[in-house]
Amino acid sequence: MVIHIYRIKLLTGFRITIPKEVRERWGLNVGDEMEMKVEGDKLVIRPSKLPKDPVLMIAGIAKGEAVKLGEVEEAVVREIEDKLERGVK
């Protein structure tokens, strides 16, 4: 899995701006709900809803209609991301 790190600034009212590249890749719009998770010393922010076909979205090929993923689907997506990174078919 490729990890991109973005430096953002905490603004008045404790707001942040999601970088344009991230908004476009994930198809984020004003008013979209996000989830924030605390994992040890990390804050993880992700869309509450993901595109219908997360595999194509992860590959950057499609945006699609949003659906909520469960734990099993998230595990599958993580496995596919890892395989894509390793070049496994």
Mean pLDDT by 10 residues, the chain (89 residues): 84 93 86 91 84 58 56 75 72
Sheet strands (E) in the chain: 34-39, 42-47, 50-51, 66-67
- Residue 83, pLDDT score: 78
pTM over 0.85: no
Alpha carbons 46 and 36: distance in angstroms, whole number? 7
Strand partners of residue 50: 67
